[in-house]
């Protein structure tokens, strides 16, 4: 009797731990999942690989000093000049203004939804907020050109160009609010309730709890949300191509026309540059710089997220 039991126990153990027969189904799933994860890595590597050769050829003819310090970008014209600074300035101005609009509004929204709003209000608001992220950027672009710019021209006391960086940056700020708000709100909601309870027990107001307890505790998530939004703004193409103009402009007035790196790539591509021509390589040089910038942003974000991460429980 006892020996039979022991036998059966040993049998069960062998069935679950021993490799009686290979599990092909599981293997296939494992391989598929690996491919899914590997695909994005492979795509990134392929993009880097395709950016490098034309960029190297570009720098064989244009000195990096001219590229990084020149203030004229006239790559497609006769007697071209290849100073990328006007394009970088355009990108930074528009991104900067967009972030200045999106971060306060996005964070405010997140604090309201996470700390103040009734759950029913929140269930109503959040999906609507996320719809903002689903509007095609070409719609935002025309909204900037035909709705925002005329308002700026009518009500601002100074000169506003029909194509200007500010209108583009303004709608871009609206576009990235959901990114900031939604991710920040997720991070704040994840802050354990015991922290809030503790603060309330010490007599803190809701305001103090939100700003002094919840926001610092969720800081790593908030930083990640902001950096993601910045990356999105740097890479945004359609809005700036439609609303900000195509003229590279070495100046810091956001109410003038400007061209960003993405707008140059899109505009030059529109004219169908002959493959392999030198003008064609300028697109890749600008693209490589853009890629480097967003890559560095992402590295910084990983650093910051690690630095500010607070682990509870």
Partner 1 sequence: MAIAAVLVAALAACGSDDDDGSSSGSTNTAPQLSGAIAVDGSSTVGPLTSVAADLFKEDNPNVDVTVGVSGTGGGFEKFCNGETDISDASRPIEDDEKAACESKGITYAELQVATDALTIVVNKENDWAQCLTVDQLKKMWEPAAEGKITNWNQVDPSFPDEKLELFGPGTDSGTFDYFTAEINGEEGASRTDYSPSEDDNVTVQGVTGTKGGLGYFGFSYFEENQDTLTAVQVDSGNGCVAPSAETAQDGSYAPLSRPLFIYPKKESLTQPQVLGFLEFYVANIDDIVSEAAFIPLNDEQKAKLQSDFDTLKSAS
Residues in contact with partner 1 by the rule CB under 8 A? 72, 74, 76-79, 145, 149-150, 153, 159, 161-163, 245-247, 257, 267, 270-274
Comparison of 132 and 139: residue with beta carbon closer to partner 1: 139
Comparison of 74 and 189: residue with beta carbon closer to partner 1: 74
- The answer to whether 115 and 188 have CB atoms below 8 angstroms apart is yes
Q: How far is the CB of 74 from partner 1 (least distance, A)?
A: 4
Q: How far is the CB of 253 from partner 1 (least distance, A)?
A: 13
Comparison of 147 and 296: residue with beta carbon closer to partner 1: 147
Q: How far is the CB of 150 from partner 1 (least distance, A)?
A: 8
Compute the radius of gyration of the chain from its Cα atoms: 26
**Six-digit token pair at 10?**
């040993």
Q: How far is the CB of 270 from partner 1 (least distance, A)?
A: 5
Measured distance CA(291)–CA(273) in Å, rounded: 21
Measured distance CA(187)–CA(215) in Å, rounded: 9
Comparison of 84 and 191: residue with beta carbon closer to partner 1: 84
Residue 254: DSSP 8-state: T
Comparison of 213 and 283: residue with beta carbon closer to partner 1: 283
Measured distance CA(291)–CA(287) in Å, rounded: 6
Q: How far is the CB of 72 from partner 1 (least distance, A)?
A: 8
Comparison of 187 and 242: residue with beta carbon closer to partner 1: 242
214 CB-near residues (< 8 Å, 6+ apart): 111, 114, 115, 188, 191, 195, 196
Measured distance CA(233)–CA(140) in Å, rounded: 13
* Residue 37, φ and ψ in degrees, nearest 5: -70, -40
Q: How far is the CB of 161 from partner 1 (least distance, A)?
A: 7
DSSP symbols for 24-54 = HHHHHHHHHHHHHHHHHHHHHHHHHHHHHHH
């Amino acid at each position: 009797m006892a020996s039979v039991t022991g036998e059966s126990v040993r049998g069960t153990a062998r069935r679950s731990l021993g490799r009686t027969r290979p599990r092909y189904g599981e293997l296939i799933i494992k391989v598929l999942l690996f491919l899914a994860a590997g695909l994005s890595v492979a795509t990134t590597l392929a993009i880097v690989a395709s950016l490098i050769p034309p960029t190297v050829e570009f720098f064989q003819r244009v000195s990096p000093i001219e590229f990084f310090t020149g203030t004229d970008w006239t790559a497609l014209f006769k007697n071209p000049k290849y100073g990328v600074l006007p394009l970088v300035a355009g990108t930074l101005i528009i991104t900067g203004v967009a972030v200045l609009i999106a971060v306060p509004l996005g964070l405010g929204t997140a604090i309201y939804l996470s700390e103040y709003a009734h759950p029913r209000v929140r269930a109503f608001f959040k999906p609507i907020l996320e719809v903002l992220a689903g509007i095609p950027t070409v719609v935002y672009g025309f909204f900037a050109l035909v709705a925002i710019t005329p308002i700026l021209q009518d009500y601002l006391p100074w000169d506003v160009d029909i194509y200007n960086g500010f209108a583009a940056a303004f709608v871009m700020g609206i576009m990235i609010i959901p990114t900031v708000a939604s991710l920040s709100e997720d991070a704040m909601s994840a802050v354990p309730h015991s922290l809030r309870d503790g603060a309330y027990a010490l007599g803190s107001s809701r305001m103090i709890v939100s700003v002094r307890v919840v926001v610092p505790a969720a800081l790593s998530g908030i930083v990640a949300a902001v950096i993601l939004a910045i990356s999105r703004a740097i890479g945004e193409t359609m809005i700036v191509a439609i609303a900000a103009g195509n003229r590279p402009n070495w100046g810091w007035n956001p109410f003038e026309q400007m061209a960003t790196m993405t707008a140059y790539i899109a505009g030059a591509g529109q004219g169908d540059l002959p493959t392999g021509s030198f003008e064609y390589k300028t697109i890749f040089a600008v693209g490589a710089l853009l890629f480097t910038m967003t890559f560095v942003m992402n590295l910084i974000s990983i650093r910051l997220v690690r630095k500010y991460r607070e682990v509870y429980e």
